Amino acid sequence: MEFSIRISALKPSAIREILKIPNDPDLISFAAGNPAPDSFPVDEMKAIAAKIFDTSAASALQYGVSEGYTPLRDITKKRMTEKHGIMSENDDLIITSGGQQAIEMTAKIFLNEGDAVICEEPAFVGALNALRSYGARLVGVPVDDDGMDVAVLEEKLKTEKNVKLIYTIPTFQNPTGTTMSLERRRKVLELAEKYDVMVLEDSPYFELRFRGESVPTIKSMDKNGRVIFSGSYSKILSPGIRIGFACASKEIISKLTVAKQVSDVHTNLFFQMLAAEYLTNCDIDAHIAKICDMYRIKADKMLECMEKKFSPKVKFTRPEGGLFISCTMPDGFDGAELASRAKAAKVTVVPGVAFATDDTKVYPTFRLNFSLPSLDEIERGIDRLAKVVNEYVG
Amino acid sequence: MEFSIRISALKPSAIREILKIPNDPDLISFAAGNPAPDSFPVDEMKAIAAKIFDTSAASALQYGVSEGYTPLRDITKKRMTEKHGIMSENDDLIITSGGQQAIEMTAKIFLNEGDAVICEEPAFVGALNALRSYGARLVGVPVDDDGMDVAVLEEKLKTEKNVKLIYTIPTFQNPTGTTMSLERRRKVLELAEKYDVMVLEDSPYFELRFRGESVPTIKSMDKNGRVIFSGSYSKILSPGIRIGFACASKEIISKLTVAKQVSDVHTNLFFQMLAAEYLTNCDIDAHIAKICDMYRIKADKMLECMEKKFSPKVKFTRPEGGLFISCTMPDGFDGAELASRAKAAKVTVVPGVAFATDDTKVYPTFRLNFSLPSLDEIERGIDRLAKVVNEYVG
């Protein structure tokens, strides 16, 4: 028995042990990527579910079409067009099983084994692994407070062979929490055109802005079908229902639909109908505003505690939205060592190495999540973490 | 912009037009693969859903683990072991987004581009396309009333290069409806051992036996982790919820879990919890017995009408379970032409070419589904179809 080359490349990572969360009620987790459970509109969902069982059970429980439930596609298209200027008349939309599937299927339809993908460094590990699972060669480009370094991006586009895709989370990036500037977004698109590569704009958090001015998506500036926009209902409705979507040119959506058909036929139809009903009859924008208020308070609390308690040697980002804050220790320190010591002190963080294209190196960074813990957990957790990190960096 | 080689191979088929179902209330469809909507346990599911919203909404709507919801895995393992003898102590189980995903991920973890997969000819088109989507070279082995021809299978195993997998639906095969004999199942496993290839035993229908003696699964005879068993709740609970599973050696399940993580993180958690609760507190075996009664009556009705109305030149299978009957016209006639004429007469069937490894040839076969139409539709539909087919075969 021999596994495929592509999947053998995805070896269990050394950091997996660190990420394993012990079942300890006293443990405080800043390691998750989960939304706050009190952000789920449970009462509305419950009422809609009962209604679907009463009026449409036979269709909600039957097979559906691979593109997704038409009313959910339509209302998602409408919102993305009217509110975010994302869809053009040449574009279409497919419902996916979470944003993750949009990334995996984009990799499947574009990448031949050995093709290069330029990605932000650091970047979301789930996306990096999806790209790796199709034999992609990952080429990292550093991220700063204004997003991807476009000078390095152009250099890589000039020198790397068989680049097919630029992978970016421009808004409230995972893990840094930072947002790419408008100027750089324009430049990314311009470079993609110039060097004839596609852009995968992964935006699971972009509606979760709790401060500052929103920046247009790269997709909204796309005139030539160069950008695949991946969105998600995970952070504004519920991640457990696994509903995301991709917007792209009709030609690309048609290929993604072929990939979707062979992958899982279609996404859970009952919850597609439930989401469509929610979006039609409830006020999703008011709901999002409520989530943003909740996350602003949590982020502010975490940042306030960090400013008070952390050694000035530890730098951290100040996100205007999303779920994450990224911390950087002085060069030479190891985020994995810090994560390991923190776990012993009953607070978990994700070490920077988890987000690297090259996981054999040492990174002085770690990621904190502020959406899941309560305000009290944030205060006590940062207290514990500060002791560990201050002792470590000296 | 250029798509990957693997996905470019999946070109829209010429038969897609025939399969497009016009929106016509007078049309009778024998072309579907859908279970009967009155087989869904709607009342029980509705009550369980309400209970989950009341007691466990925060966890049901949150992220879950990629292997699947533990109580659903446990009860599925228990049923498969105690009722079907499928799991050994070296085996494990993963929850997938329908049986389709188990097939797609098995292809992903085993196949390098250009590897050969031996499959039944004809076989389920969704599986063939999933295999093609990883660049598999499909090698067909004919199916008769006792399943795959094992003499041809051995010949292919001897002569074909880089064979990695044997793909089979041994029980109530799609599209033929026939069941592989015990002797041949033993032989398939023996040959897989001898030639060191894996067996993907796809069994979405195996619990839907409405007549005759059940035959042990190939997986139940597997001592060496040679078989991946793919099962599904689509035909015994609901296909719209997209819940299936794969049983295989622990090593393989661990690789499938890596593939699952990058594919869609996990299957809809709410319905995994709902299915676990259903299996724990409701009588699934009584429910399956009810579905089998329903399908026996429908299959018998269809066979009775076909015997009465069809020209003796048209042969057809007499399945003991599942959803399908397969028809064969004399050599030289074209199932695609028949399907096209039938559609004009307002009854749809699937032409044999849809299930072929080589879709450039002409096949004298077509598939009928008896689970979805009502008894009245079966009678009227066979009436229409008999006129068309009798006129065609002359």
Listed range (A221-230, A354-363, B67-76, B150-159) with the worst mean pLDDT: A354-363
Q: Which residue of A has its CA nearest to B4?
A: A110
**B303-333 pLDDT per residue, tens:** 999 999 999 999 999 999 999 999 999 999 9
Is residue B203 within 8 Å of B216, Cβ to Cβ? no
For residue B263, name the pLDDT band (cuts at 50, 70, 90): very high
Question: Given pLDDT bands bounded at 50, 70 and 90, which one contains residue B17?
Answer: low
Q: Using an 8 Å CB-CB cutoff, list chain A residues near B196.
A: 1
Return the C-alpha torsion angle B51, B52, B55, B61, nearest 10.
-160
Q: Pick left, alpha or beta for residue A68 (phi over 0 → left; psi -120 to 50 → alpha; otherwise beta).
A: left
Cross-chain residue pair A49–B45, CB shorter than 8 Å: no
Pair B321, B295: CB distance under 8 Å: yes
- HEC profile for chain A? CCCCHHHHCCCCCCCHHHHCCCCCCCCEECCCCCCCHHHCCHHHHHHHHHHHHHHHHHHHCCCCCCCCCHHHHHHHHHHHHHHHCCCCCCEEEEEECHHHHHHHHHHHHHCCCCCEEEEEECCCHHHHHHHHCCCCEEEEEEEECCEECHHHHHHHHHHCCCEEEEEECCCCCCCCCCCCCHHHHHHHHHHHHHCCCEEEEECCCCCCECCCCCCCCCHHHCCCCCEEEEEECCCCCCCCCCCEEEEEEHHHHHHHHHHHHHHHCCCCHHHHHHHHHHHHHCCHHHHHHHHHHHHHHHHHHHHHHHHHHCCCCCEECCCCECCEEEEECCCCCCHHHHHHHHHHCCEECEEHHHHCCCCCCCCCEEEEECCCCCHHHHHHHHHHHHHHHHHHHC
pLDDT at A285: 97
Put simply, the answer to whether A61 touches B37 (Cβ < 8 Å) is yes
Of B244, B238, B385, residue with least CA distance to B314 = B385
Nearest partner of A234 among A265, A271, A262, A277, judged by Cα? A271
Structural contact between residues B244 and B99, judged by C-beta atoms closer than 8 angstroms: yes
Quickly count helices (H) and strands (E) in chain B. Answer: 14, 14
The closest alpha carbon to A258, from A54, A110, A90, A365, belongs to A110
- Least CB–CB distance from A63: residue in B38, B198, B239: B239
Q: Give the C-alpha separation, B360 to B376, whole Å.
A: 36
- Cβ neighbors of A48 (< 8 A, separation 6 or more) are A274, A277, A278, A281
Would you state the structure tokens that stand for residue A70, as one six-digit string?
């038409």
Contacts of A58 in chain B (CB under 8 A): 37-38, 40, 42
Phi-psi region of A332 (alpha: psi -120 to 50; beta: other; left: phi over 0): left
- Across chain B, mean pLDDT equals 95
Structure tokens at A160: 């790397």
Query: Does pLDDT of B13 surpass 60?
Result: no
pLDDT at residue B195, rounded to an integer: 97
d(CA B21, CA B164): 36
**Is residue B211 a contact partner of residue B321, using CB atoms and an 8 Å limit?**
yes
Residues of B in contact with A63 (CB under 8 A): 32-34, 239-240
pLDDT of A129: 93
From chain B, the residues in CB contact with A5 under 8 A are: 112
Neighbour-count burial of A194, counting CB atoms closer than 10 A to its CB (0-12 exposed, 13-18 middle, 19+ buried): exposed
Residue A196: how many other CB atoms lie within 10 Å: 12
Of A3, A113, A129, the CB nearest to B262: A129
Q: What is the pLDDT of residue B8?
A: 85
Q: Do residues A363 and A143 lie in contact, with contact meaning Cβ atoms separated by under 8 Å? A: no
Q: For chain B, give the number of residues.
A: 394
Spatial strand order of the sheet with A350-351 comes to A315-316, A324-328, A365-369, A350-351
Torsion of CA B265, B198, B227, B178, to 10 degrees: 110
* pLDDT of the residue at B15: 54
Long-range own/partner contacts, residues B246-249 (CB < 8 A, 24 or more apart): B246/B93, B246/B94, B246/B96, B246/B102, B246/B105, B246/B106, B247/B77, B247/B80, B247/B86, B247/B87, B247/B91, B247/B92, B247/B93, B247/B219, B248/B91, B248/B92, B249/B90, B249/B91, B249/B92, B249/B225
| pLDDT computed for residue B216 by the predictor | 97
The answer to whether B332 and B347 are in contact (CB under 8 A) is no
| pLDDT tens-digit series, residues A287-342 | 999 999 999 999 999 999 999 999 999 999 999 999 999 999 999 999 999 999 99
Q: Is the ipTM of this complex over 0.95?
A: yes
Partners of A47 on chain B (C-beta within 8 Å) are: none
Which of B12, B62, B259 has its CB closest to that of A7?
B259
pTM given for the model:
0.97
Whether A288 and A279 have beta carbons less than 8 Å apart is answered as no
Span B251-258, mean pLDDT?
A: 95
Assess whether pLDDT exceeds 90 at residue B99.
yes
Name the residue among B196, B226, B240 with its Cβ closest to that of A61.
Answer: B240
Give the mutation candidate from A117, A251, A262, A266 for the B interface (greatest B CB count, under 10 A). Answer: A262
Is B61 close to A3, i.e. CB distance below 8 A?
A: no
Chain centroid, CA A281 distance in Å: 27
pLDDT at A217: 98
Q: A52, A62, A103, A202: best mutation site toward chain B, by most B Cβ within 10 Å?
A: A62
Ranges of residues in chain A with a pLDDT under 50 are 14
Whether the link from the prior residue into A12 is cis, omega within 30° of 0, is no
Residue B359: its pLDDT value, please?
85
Per-residue pLDDT at B9: 76
For residues B185, B186, B189, B195, the Cα torsion angle rounded to the nearest 10 degrees is: -120
Cβ-nearest to A198 among B1, B58, B101 = B1
Measured between beta carbons, which residues in chain A are less than 8 angstroms from residue B61?
Answer: 37, 40, 42, 45, 238-241
In angstroms and rounded to an integer, the radius of gyration of the C-alpha atoms of chain A is: 21
CA distance A153 to A36: 35
Q: Report whether B336 contacts B353 (CB < 8 A).
A: yes
Distance, in Å, from the CA atom of B178 to the CA atom of A19, rounded to the nearest integer, reads 48
Bridge partners, A143 (sequence order): A148
Q: How confident is the model at residue B391 (pLDDT cuts 50, 70, 90)?
A: very high
CB pairs under 8 A between A and B: 232
The predicted structure's pLDDT at residue A11: 65
Tell me which residue of B346, B344, B329 sits closest to B393, measured CA to CA.
B329
**B194 to B187, B191, B226: CA distances (angstroms):** 10, 5, 11
Burial grade of A223 (CB within 10 A; 0-12, 13-18, 19 or more): exposed
Polymer length in residues for chain A: 394
Q: Band the pLDDT of B25: cuts 50, 70, 90.
A: confident
CB B110 within 8 A of CB A3: yes
Chain B contact set for A278 (CB, 8 A) = none
Stretch B264-291: mean pLDDT: 98
Sole residue written with tokens 């190939």: B218
CA distance A365 to A355: 10
Summarised one tens digit per residue, pLDDT across range B198-234 is 999 999 999 999 999 999 999 999 999 999 999 999 9
